[in-house]
Amino acid sequence: MTTRPGRAPRILHPIAWWIWALGIAVAVSRTVNPTLLFLALAVLGFVVARRRTDAPWARAFKYYLGFGVFVITSRVIFHTVFGSGITPTDHILIHLPQLATPGWYSGVTIGGPVSLEGTLTAAALGLRLATLICCVGAANALANPKRALRVLPGALYELGMAIVVAISVAPQLIESVQRVTRARRLRAGGGRGGGGLRALRSVVIPVLEDALERSLLLARAMDSRGYGRSGNTPRASRRITAALMILGMVGLCMGIYGLLDRTAPRYLGFPTILVGAASCCAGLALGGRRVTRTQYRPDPWRLEEWIVAGCGVASAALMILAYGFDATGVNPSFYPLHYPPFPGVAAVGFLLGALAGVVAPPPPRASRPPAPAPPTSADARQPAPRPRVTA
């Protein structure tokens, strides 16, 4: 896409989309019920199909779907090769030749019988990871990554370039894939004939190089506009901020460990998390105070934003509720083999997530013929010259 889609005033706030997607991700991470996972995927697909823009990164979702298929396939293959043992009542699909392993290595079996139950379990676990990946993909497709950068807390300015690259490299990667494949198609001989390893090499390397280069370019451009500068803050204040942040992170890590390990002393759990969180907040506040910045035409946060974010939070909340009610319905075991249940509360949660596809305002469509739009507010932070594809 060489066209720069015209940006209407009504593009949903990127943070609203991220909250929505992360809410669904939280819900997905609590379940291995394949019916619920397929429902979550359908919800993601529905919302993305209805509400994505025409921007290059907005076409990302299908790549994430493909990656999800790859995840499921590799999980099943790993299960088949490194079988985890079968139970006497398993339905056996195939008997692979089993490699004899020495006694000290008997924790790992290679080959052996492959059961339907085990394969289904592996596929369901792969499906959960794939759905989680697609949640991130949906957020990347729906939210403008460059606008999301604007609302980062001021204290993170310290991390400048790292943050910019981390947030923008995935969408840039998608964009690069599209541009490189289009360039290959335009060139003779690049089409579908030249597949295999050669094609991979001629796509992957330019794509990686292009994406990283453009992310760095963006970071440098933001740096030149004052992003990530410490400015004229006193040294002591900077040190206190850093100390608070480190203390907070250590506190959070120790607190999580203390919460998860029941044998740990009690004071290591919740109190440590509270101290860590408080310390982090103080650090962010202190760091943010000394950075003065202005925002040109900030994204509005209106009712629709509240509803979309609320839909995601509601999915997560209802899933946690359903987990409390009926943990085995949300996480059914395939041993013994039976039809998966369909927990209603969790399903309603995901359907609430689908509501976002109706409530959110429709994205502005790129009009045809595309006018080479003058740089608008959003482009103020991104580099004007875009490197051409060299592949």
Q: Which residues bind another protein (CB under 8 A)?
A: 32, 34-36, 38-39, 41-43, 45-46, 48-50, 54, 84-85, 87-93, 106-107, 109, 116-118, 120-121, 262-263, 327-328, 330-333, 335-342, 347, 351, 354, 357, 365-366, 368
Tokens of 91: 């339905």
Rounded to the nearest whole angstrom, what is the least distance from the CB of residue 280 to another protein in the complex?
28
Q: Which is nearer to another protein, 50 or 182 (CB)?
A: 50
Q: Where are the alpha helices (DSSP H) in the chain?
A: 14-29, 34-51, 61-81, 116-142, 145-150, 160-186, 196-224, 235-260, 270-290, 303-325, 327-330, 344-359
Is residue 190 within 8 Å of residue 198, measured between CB atoms? no
Is residue 33 within 8 Å of residue 385, measured between CB atoms? no
As a whole number of angstroms, the distance between CA 240 and CA 251 comes to: 16
Q: Which is nearer to another protein, 73 or 333 (CB)?
A: 333
Q: Which is nearer to another protein, 90 or 210 (CB)?
A: 90
Return the closest-CA partner of residue 12 out of 382, 361, 364: 361
Tokens of 318: 């209802």
Rounded to the nearest whole angstrom, what is the least distance from the CB of residue 261 to another protein in the complex?
8
| Partners of 301 in beta bridges | none
Rounded to the nearest whole angstrom, what is the least distance from the CB of residue 131 to another protein in the complex?
12
As a whole number of angstroms, the distance between CA 135 and CA 347 comes to: 16
Rounded to the nearest whole angstrom, what is the least distance from the CB of residue 367 to another protein in the complex?
10
As a whole number of angstroms, the distance between CA 379 and CA 225 comes to: 13
C-alpha distances in Å from residue 347, one per residue of 20, 67, 163, 315:
16, 25, 35, 9
Rounded to the nearest whole angstrom, what is the least distance from the CB of residue 354 to another protein in the complex?
6
Q: Which is nearer to another protein, 27 or 347 (CB)?
A: 347
Rounded to the nearest whole angstrom, what is the least distance from the CB of residue 100 to another protein in the complex?
12
